[in-house]
Amino acid sequence: MHSRPRPSPHRQHATRYDLRYPWYMSVPVQLTVEFASRIRAHALRMVSNASAAHIGSALSIADILSVLYTHVLRVDPTKPDWPERDRLIVSKGHATSILYAALAERGFFPLDWLADYCKDESKLLGHVSHHVPGVEVSTGSLGHGLPIACGMALAAKRDGRSNRTFVILSDGELDEGSCWEAILFAGHNRLSNLTAIVDYNKIQSFGTVKDVLDLDPLAAKWDAFHWHTLEIDGHDIAQLQVALSSVPLEADRPTVIIAHTIKGKGVSFMEDRLEWHYKSPNAVQLEQALQELGYSC
């Protein structure tokens, strides 16, 4: 447990740094680290309150989302439809709690919406919905995000727009044939404005990636499809910042960042544990998880 007090995850956004483009490009690393911690705490509360699933999947991408939303994405919460905005598709749409937490922290909608996650009449459903401010595309049926991202990147290129398209994929999702059609398509069309981030946590819903359908050697496969390939620690904020801020890395190839991650990262009893794909933390487990992050219920 951290010895120094942490800010409340429900503190109002207005008191923090102004993250609107382009001012946020100079934010300190500590802000990104704290952002990741806050969205983990939100996601834990949301999932526990709703007795919902997929907390392990959510915690796995907290650091990736944090770097994207505090350091990389050119988006403006006051103008979510700005044509020149960068696009992000979270294709692993079951990890919706952490995306909604990041969007709320980034100012796309009020933080108090998070309390109604998965409740009747809530806008915040259990899979990613484009009815939520800041969301580009509804996802949840795996294998669709990368094909759609290819279309967005191709359209931007043809229109002469400078915005970039990012897509977060899960490793189990790469079992879908549609992903490999899109990987082939993006390489062929030299979509350098497209970046895929693979959340390589090595666990699917019912088993390890290695046992269910082995992806190794993963980087070599993307490379063979004409992608620029990077492998990084998906929880190392500095590595994520360098990799994600540097794209496009080549003028005529899309980029894939294979982010080695840990499902359930940040909560000791959830890390690398298959059961936290579906299990929801009860009140005692929630309290313990929040304490590990430096928060309380």
Ligand X SMILES: Cc1ncc(C[n+]2csc(CCOP(=O)(O)OP(=O)(O)O)c2C)c(N)n1
The reply to whether 261 sits near Mg ion by the rule CB under 5 A is no
Look at residue 94 and give the partner it binds from ligand X, Mg ion, none, a contact being a CB closer than 5 to 8 Å depending on partner kind. Answer: ligand X
User: Which of the 8 DSSP states describes residue 79?
Assistant: -
Q: Note the residues at the interface with ligand X (CB under 6 A).
A: 57, 60, 92, 94-95, 140-143, 170-173, 199, 201, 203-205, 263, 277
Least distance from ligand X to the Cβ atom of residue 74, Å: 26
How far is Cα 46 from Cα 42, in angstroms, rounded to an integer?
6
Q: Which residue matches tokens 């992806």?
A: 215
DSSP 141: S
Which run of H or of E encompasses 64?
helix 62-67
- Binding residues for Mg ion restricted to 202-221, rule: CB under 5 A: 203
Nearer to ligand X, 93 or 187 (CB): 93
71-97 residues labelled b (16+ CB within 10 A) or e (exposed): bbbbbbbeebeeeebbbbbbbbbbbbb
Residue type, 54: H
Tell me whether residue 41 or residue 209 sits nearer to Mg ion (CB atom). Answer: 209
Q: Is 105 in the site for Mg ion (CB under 5 A)?
A: no
Q: Which residue is nearest to ligand X (CB)?
A: 172
Site track 148-177 with Mg ion (rule: CB under 5 A), x = hit: ----------------------xxx-----
**Tokens linked to 150:** 């290819």
Residue 141 contact among ligand X, Mg ion, none, beta carbon within 5 to 8 Å by kind: ligand X
Binders of Mg ion: how many residues, by CB under 5 A?
Answer: 5
- Helix/strand number for the chain, H first, E second: 10, 5
241 binds Mg ion (CB under 5 A): no
- Residue choice 97, 165, 201, 261 for contact with Mg ion (CB under 5 A): 201
Report what 246 binds from Mg ion, ligand X, none; CB cut-off 5-8 Å by kind. none
**Given strand 255-260, what is the order of strands in its sheet?**
87-90, 165-170, 194-200, 255-260, 228-233
